[in-house]
Structure 1
Amino acid sequence: MSVIAAPATRPLDPLKFRDPLVTAKGETRATVALTGLRTLWVNTGTLCNITCRNCYIESSPRNDALAYLTAAELRGYLEEIARDALPVEEVGFTGGEPFLNRELPEMLRDVLSRGLRALVLTNAMKPMRNHAAALLALQREFGERLTLRVSLDHHEPLIHDLERQEGSFAQALEGLDWLARQGFRVHVAGRAAFGAEGEAAMREGFARLFAERGIPVDARDPVALMLFPEMDAAADVPEITTACWGILKKSPDSLMCASARMVVKRRGAERPAVLACTLLPYDPQFELGATLAEASRPVPLNHPHCARFCVLGGAACSR
């Protein structure tokens, strides 16, 4: 299979995304209000067992800019959810590779025992398998309230391995096969831009792969198989104004930041912080406070990812 290079893009206009209130053209920038916190994301740390060519948050075996969050630190937010009767339904765990954090099983048990759903984003490689016994215990006790979303960038090994590393496709499939055999609820995340043949053909390719291996994922379901758009903060993209909602016939309530927040622990910080978005862990303007209550204020869409990934790309990290 040949690999088709992505088309060239224009560089980002340096006047864009500078003011949280107005665009480069002087128009009112769009903001998104928190309509109800339904998904709490937890970044367990940016360390990962592999280095991908285009990782959304630059995770690697050396990047510890976001330190390991502890179960005790997460428990404080779970207690805030219970105390304030927040409408949280699901807690998602991302990284880095979440299974490198040794306290992940304890965090999962704390979440699931409170009646919430848990979602783990993983590459399904060795770190996940190191927690096999703990995972099986959680699966037996909580069943389908626990979902593991496995990163599989393409249904062909060549393209996946070009992004991640040689042999990673086979290792991810081995982990996905194990999850399926053990009866876990599994989803898959791919990259839309890697499918030069188009989304329909990408889904057909994944469907064939899942059928061949007996993996119970419906490739036609946009939640069970999420195909994420690519992000390049240096490439030009339109700024989103208040007028865009009507022009695009899109509601701000459909964006992730209308219903989600993310907890991170910065290296050297005394306590975790709450961010507006899973995709912007390093931009200080998206750090909203230390508590969920402090982080409930509206979010200006003052970053290229807001436009490319969420508004124009239509992507969402949770259901």
Structure 2
Amino acid sequence: MTASAAPSCPTVATTPLDPAKFRDPAVTARGERRASVTLTALRTLWLNTGTLCNLTCTNCYIESNPRNDALVYLTRAEAKAYLEEIATAGWPTREIGLTGGEPFMNRDVPGILADILEGGFRALVLTNAMRPMQRHRAALLRLRERYGARLSLRVSLDHYGRDVHEAERGPGAWEPALRGLLWLAANGFDISVAGRGLSGEGEDRLRAGYARLFAEQGLGIDAADPARLVLFPEMDARRDVPEITEACWGILGKSPDQMMCAGSRMVVKRKGAERPTVVACTLLPHDPRFDLGPTLAGAHGPVVLNHPHCARFCVLGGASCSTG
């Protein structure tokens, strides 16, 4: 921190990102010590099953679409190696999350889920619940029958209304997603819904809108429960946001231990790579600054909050992809 500058942690702006920000891993553009987060315990491991998706969304943080295979399909054997590393090390990992892309585009996902659940973990799948998931209904029913609520699926409905959802996900995306959610509910799966702040409405209004939708559809989802209706802030790395300094923890009344990277890591496999690698955050699979190497044991070091998503999504947005 410079001698003349007071500790700062301003509010989020709507102006373009200052190009001087998020450059030096040690200090901010104002010369203040940048915040970092230490992994306190690996509670959640995310497996990115690949960036291919059946949809092309307007604002997809990972740039998924039907042609983007920058992150290739993770195989069952590759995923199992990380489960075995956790078991061998005796880490307190309780949840394995699958994300994409659309996870069910990867044909190994049912086998990966079986290995996760057989290993005693809880499995969480982030899905749009559309045709790729429907192709695996028989396998999902078998897993639900055997493991019950340890298999959980979080369905993306970007808004409680068709128009906003389809403005993001494309025409015709609403009905198939809703049908998939209703199928999961009718068959006794443990389900939740992920929404987004696309409409600019406040949280209370959003939860009220989803509550009406759930009631109309006969879905027993409590829209007031943040674990059952997860509302994510919008992310735009081009828009200005404060850099998080060490002083911000006290200013904001938050702790580094509350951040997502204090309890989770994600496995990805990049196109052309011989083996998967571990990254610090589900939101930053493409940024080499957050690549921590091929093993979980080597990925336990501190994470420097040197990206706009660190501020907007986690610190100021208070969001997390995990369930706990």
TM-score normalised by length of structure 1? 0.96
Match of 1:66 in 2: 71
Deviations 1:221-276 (CA, angstroms, capped at 9, x unpaired): 11110110000101111000101000100000000000000000000100000000
Rounded to whole Å, the distance in 1 between the matches of 2:247 and 2:275 is 38
Distance in 1, Cα, partners of 2:13 & 2:158:
21
Partners of 1:153 and 1:37 lie apart in 2 by 29
The aligned counterpart of 1:286 is 290
CA distance in 1, matches of 2:259, 2:27: 20
1:88 corresponds to which of 89, 93, 112:
93
Which residue number in structure 1 is paired with residue 301 of structure 2? 297
Aligned partner of 2:158 in structure 1 is 153
- What is the percent sequence identity of the aligned residues? 66
Alpha-carbon distance, 1:8 to partner? 8.8
- Kept after mapping to 2: 8 A contact 1:186/1:216: no
Distance (Å, rounded) in 2 between the aligned partners of 1:283 and 1:16: 16
- Paired residue for 2:132, among 121, 127, 133? 127
Find the counterpart in structure 2 of residue 203 from structure 1.
Answer: 207
1:1-319 residue pairs with structure 2 within 5 A?
9-194=14-199, 196-319=200-323
Task: Compute the displacement of 1:167 (Å).
Answer: 1.2
Deviations 1:185-213 (A, max 9, x none): 0000000232x342111111111111111
The secondary structure found in structure 2 opposite 1:51 is coil
TM, length-normalised to structure 2: 0.95
Change (3 A) 1:8 1:82: closer
Structure 2 gaps, min length 5: 1-11
Matches of 1:121 and 1:56, distance apart in 2: 14
Report the secondary structure of 1:40's partner residue.
strand
Q: How many residues align?
A: 312
2:8 maps to none
Residue by residue, what CA displacement relative to the aligned partner does 1:86-139 show, whole Å, maximum 9, x if unpaired? 110000000000000000000000000111000000000000000000000000
Name stretches of at least 5 consecutive residues in structure 1 with no aligned partner.
1-6
Taking the aligned partners of 2:127 and 2:88, their CA distance within structure 1 comes to: 30
Cα distance in 2 between the residues matched to 1:83 and 1:143: 26
Cα distance in structure 2, aligned partners of 1:205 and 1:29: 39
Distance 1:163 1:174 in 2: 18
CA deviation after TM superposition for structure 1 residue 9, in Å: 2.1
